[in-house]
Structure 1
C-alpha cells in the first residue's frame, strides 16, 4: 500500500491580510463593467440630474444608479430585486455602486420615473461618443423591426371588430323596439319622430331609450317579451355604449389592445408559445443600426413596419438634428408613402418593394404571364397592349386613400372587347372587359429603387443589411434571453428598450 498522499494548495479561510485588496483590484482589467463605467463617466447626464428636486432628503447618485442599471442589462440582470441582491453580493456591481446598497424600490423608481424624460438623451450621448471614436456612423444606417411581447395577459383583449358587431346588434335591437312602438301607437298624432339610427353613439342611445320609455310606459297592450326587452335596453345600453366609445378612443387606428396594458396591440409573433399561430400582446420595435450598434430606436403599437418609418425618421432628426444620408431596409418598408417621404427628405434609400426578390428570379414570370407588369405600355398613346394585341386606353384617374390616410392616384385602363377573346377567363377573372389599375407614381419610385438596389453599392448594401441589423435583434432575444418586457405602458417599455439599446452598444464596444 502506497504511503504517498495527494498534494493540495494551502487553504486558510480565516487568514488575515496585512493589506486587503481593493474592489478595483478584484475586477479584471478587460471586463465589460469597466467599459460601462468609463462611458457613463464620459457622457453628459445633465438631463438626468435635472429630474431631481433641490429640496428633500439626499438621494443615491443618479450616475451610480444608471451604471448599475446599464450593467444589469449588459449582464442579463433585468429584475430590480436581482439588481438589489447583486449590489450586495456581486463584486462588479459592488465596485460600480461604490459599496452602496440601493433597494429594489429605489432601483425600480429610478428606472420607471427618473429615466422617463432623461434616458433618450443618455442614449444619444452614448451614440455620439461612439461615433466620435469611429465605431459607428449616424449618416449611414440599416433599419428593421421586430415584435416583442408585452407584460400583459394574453387572453384579456378588446377587438375593434367585436365593438362594431355589438354596436350593430344594439342598433338593430333599438330599431326593432321602435318599430313595435310605432305599430301599437300609429293612431296617435303626438308620436315622437323616429330617431336616426344610421350610426349610434351614447347621446343617441340615451335619447332613443328615453323616447321608447315615454311611448310604451302607459300602453297596457305592450306584450311581456317587449317589456322585458325594453327593461334590458334601458338598464344596459347607455352604460355599454359609453364603454364602447371609451374603448374606441383607446384603440385609435389599431384593431385591438390588451386590457392589462392598453398600449400593447395583439400581433403575430415568430415565437409562438402555443404553436398554433395565436396572437399575443406586444410592441413593434424599430431600430436603425450601423456596424451592429444601435443608432436610433422607436416603439410602435402598430404591427406593420410600413407605417412606422415616418415616426422613426422624425426621431432620428430630433436626436441628431438631421436625417440619415442613406437608409437600407427590406420590403416591409417599400410603400409609395415611404418612398415619397425618403425622396422629400433627400435620403438615398436602398429599400426593396414587395415583388423585388421574386423579380430577381428568372422563373418568376411563368406563374403570372398576364399580370399588369407583363403588359406592354405605349407611352406615346398612353395605352397598354393586352396579350392578344388589343389596346387598353385610359378611362380616368381615381384617387384612393390607404389605411394610413395617404392619398394615391390610380389610372385605370380598359380593354375594348374581351367577349370572344380565346384568353377570356385566363387573362382575367372579372366579368366584362378587363380593367387594370396602375399607380404611375409608385412605378416611378419602384424603377428608381430597382436601379439603386442593383447597382454595385446597392448589392453591397443588401448584403450588409443581413448581417448588420438582424443580428442585433438575434443577440438581444436569443443570446441574452430578452423576449418579453417587464414593464407596462409605452413610456416604460421605451425606457426598458433604451436600456437594452445602450447595453447592446456597450457590449459591442467591449467585444
Structure 2
C-alpha cells in the first residue's frame, strides 16, 4: 500500500429495481433436498379421488385440492396452524409459492378446505402415505407401540356441564315436587288422586307440568293454603319444565358415556392435564388422542372423549384394522390399558399384547408384595376342586357366582368364597378386617389373563418390547407438543379435531422422513 494513500469502503452493487432479461424459476431457488420437495413428491403419489368427490360440479372454478393439501401439510410441518398465517405465507414465502404454483387462496378457502373437505378424505390419504413409508422400509404396521395424550380443546374452561350435577338437580326437583304434593295432600287430599310424584321412576317436563297443575287446582280457592307454597308453585311452573328440558338435552350430549362436556365445544370432555400451569389440578376441556407408532413414525391415530386410556384401546385398534385391512401381530402399551376386556379382546383377535396390568410393577417389587401377605392373589388355589385355602390352610367354601357389568357393558363373572371359623384365628388381624368370616371375590378369567400377560412380559422379547416402547411412542408426543408446539386444538368438534390430528400425523411422518 502506498504511503499516504487513504482507503475507501467498497460495497457490492445493489440495484433493487434492476430488471431481469428472463424471469427467475422458483424451482431453481429451492434446494433439491429441501423438506418442501418431500411433501410435494409424497402427496403427488397419493390418490385423492375421495377428496375430489367432495366438490360439486358447476359454479366458479375451485383451487385444486391437492395443492391446498400440500400447503396445509407443509404449514403444519413448520408449526403454522392459523389459516390467516397460512394465507400470509402463501403470498410471501417462496416454498409455499412453489407448492401453490403462485396461487393465493385466502384464509376462508383454506379454513373451509381444512374443516369441511378433509373430514371424510384425510384418513385414506394418511393411510396411503403410511403404506408408502412401509414400502420404503421406514416402519411396519404389524408391530405397534400405543399410547395416548390429552390435548386441550378450543373451548372455554369455565363453561362446563357435569353429569353428576344434572342428576343432583333432577333429584332436587323431584324431592321438592314430592314435598309440594305432600303439603297439598295435607290441605286438600280430596282434590288429589293417589299418584305420588315420589313414585315416578323418571320425571320429565310433561309429568312435572301435569303434577304442578294438579296441585294448583287442588289449592285453588283454598284460603288456608300457605302463600309461600303458592309462590313456590308459581316458580316451579315457570322454571322446572324448562330446566328439565335443558337437563334432558345435556344428558343426550353426555350419552351416558361421559361425565362432563364444555358448552363451547360439546364434544370436549373435562380432563386432568399434565400441563398444569396454575398448579391446582384444574380440569380443562380436552380430547384423548391415541397414537400407535413404529420406529417413531405414526402408524395410526384416533381421537376419543374418554378421560382414561383403558376404554380406548379396542376402538383404536379396530380403526387401525379397518384402515389397513390387516391386524397387527403385536401391540405394546403401558399399564393404563391393562384390563380384562382389553386382554380378552386381544386374545380373541390373536394379537400378541405386551400390555402391563395395573399390578405388574408392584408384583415385581418384593418389598411392596411383603407388606400385605394375605391378599387374595397370595392365597392358595386348587383349580381342580375350585377351592381357595385361607392362610391357616383351611379350605374356603364356594358361595356361588354372579355377573357384573362394567361401564362399557363388558360382563365379568365373579365367584365368591367364604372362610370358616375366623373367630379366634391368630392371623385374623393381618388376614382381614371384615365382620364374621372372611369373604373374597375372585374373577378367575381376569386372573388367568393377568398371569398370561405377566409371563409374556417377563420373557426376553417382552423385556425388549417394554424398553422399546419408551423410545418409540414417547418421542412422538414430545415432537408434537414440544417441537411442533401443538398444545391446543384450533378447531372445534371431534370431527374437525380428527382432521387436525391427521394433518399433524402427516406432518410428523414427512418431517421424520426428511430427517
Compute the TM-score of the two structures, normalised by the length of structure 1. 0.97
C-alpha change, 1:225 and 1:7, in structure 2 (3 Å) is same
1:37 to 15, 36, 40: 40
Question: Counterparts of 2:5 and 2:254 in 1: how far apart (Å)?
Answer: 82
Q: SS state of the match for residue 391, structure 1?
A: coil
Aligned counterpart, 2:283: 279
Shift of 1:216: 1.4
Question: Counterparts of 1:449 and 1:125 in 2: how far apart (Å)?
Answer: 33
Aligned counterpart, 2:87: 84
Aligned counterpart, 1:211: 214
Question: Counterparts of 1:189 and 1:87 in 2: how far apart (Å)?
Answer: 77
2:243 to 206, 229, 240: 240
Question: Counterparts of 1:20 and 1:138 in 2: how far apart (Å)?
Answer: 46
Aligned counterpart, 2:107: 104
2:362 to 345, 350, 358: 358
Aligned counterpart, 1:306: 310
Aligned counterpart, 1:228: 231
Question: Counterparts of 2:105 and 2:193 in 1: how far apart (Å)?
Answer: 72
Q: SS state of the match for residue 241, structure 2?
A: helix
Cα deviation digits, residues 243-275 of structure 1 (max 9, x gap): 101101111120000000000000001001321
Question: Counterparts of 2:352 and 2:446 in 1: how far apart (Å)?
Answer: 17
Preserved contact between residue 185 and residue 191 of structure 1 (Cα < 8 Å): no
Aligned counterpart, 2:154: 151
1:124 and 2:137 equivalent? no
Aligned counterpart, 1:345: 349
C-alpha change, 1:185 and 1:463, in structure 2 (3 Å) is same
Shift of 1:133: 1.4
1:372 and 2:372 equivalent? no
2:259 to 240, 247, 255: 255
2:163 to 160, 163, 183: 160
Question: Counterparts of 2:428 and 2:253 in 1: how far apart (Å)?
Answer: 49
Preserved contact between residue 192 and residue 211 of structure 1 (Cα < 8 Å): no
2:408 to 400, 404, 419: 404
Preserved contact between residue 185 and residue 192 of structure 2 (Cα < 8 Å): no
Q: SS state of the match for residue 431, structure 2?
A: coil
1:508 to 485, 491, 512: 512
Structure 2 unmatched runs, 5+: none
Greater shift after overlay, 75-84 or 17-26?
17-26
Aligned counterpart, 2:204: 201
Question: Counterparts of 2:368 and 2:200 in 1: how far apart (Å)?
Answer: 51
Shift of 1:20: 4.2
1:293 to 291, 297, 300: 297
Preserved contact between residue 292 and residue 468 of structure 1 (Cα < 8 Å): yes
Shift of 1:370: 1.6
Shift of 1:97: 0.6
Cα deviation digits, residues 77-133 of structure 1 (max 9, x gap): 100000000001111111111111000000001101111111111111111111111
Aligned counterpart, 1:387: 391
1:462 to 460, 466, 475: 466
2:334 to 330, 334, 351: 330
Shift of 1:201: 2.0
Q: SS state of the match for residue 394, structure 1?
A: strand
Shift of 1:379: 2.9
Shift of 1:307: 0.7
Q: SS state of the match for residue 430, structure 2?
A: coil
Greater shift after overlay, 366-375 or 32-41?
366-375
1:446 to 441, 446, 450: 450
Shift of 1:189: 6.9
Preserved contact between residue 192 and residue 214 of structure 2 (Cα < 8 Å): no
Cα deviation digits, residues 209-264 of structure 1 (max 9, x gap): 12112211232221111111111111111111111011011111200000000000
1:180 and 2:174 equivalent? no
Q: SS state of the match for residue 487, structure 2?
A: coil
Greater shift after overlay, 212-221 or 121-130?
212-221
1:315 and 2:348 equivalent? no
Shift of 1:7: 5.4
Question: Counterparts of 1:123 and 1:19 in 2: how far apart (Å)?
Answer: 40
Count how many residue pairs are aligned between Structure 1 and Structure 2. Answer: 510
Question: Counterparts of 2:331 and 2:56 in 1: how far apart (Å)?
Answer: 41
Preserved contact between residue 191 and residue 215 of structure 1 (Cα < 8 Å): no
C-alpha change, 1:2 and 1:150, in structure 2 (3 Å) is farther
Question: Counterparts of 2:104 and 2:78 in 1: how far apart (Å)?
Answer: 18
Shift of 1:380: 3.7
Shift of 1:314: 1.6
Q: SS state of the match for residue 43, structure 1?
A: coil
Q: SS state of the match for residue 420, structure 1?
A: coil
Question: What is the CA RMSD across the aligned residues, in angstroms?
Answer: 1.6
Question: Counterparts of 1:191 and 1:318 in 2: how far apart (Å)?
Answer: 58
Compute the TM-score of the two structures, normalised by the length of structure 2. 0.96
Cα deviation digits, residues 52-90 of structure 1 (max 9, x gap): 111111001111000000000011010000000000111
Q: SS state of the match for residue 413, structure 2?
A: strand
Aligned counterpart, 1:46: 49
Matches within 5 A, 1:405-444: 405-444=409-448
Question: Counterparts of 2:358 and 2:202 in 1: how far apart (Å)?
Answer: 37
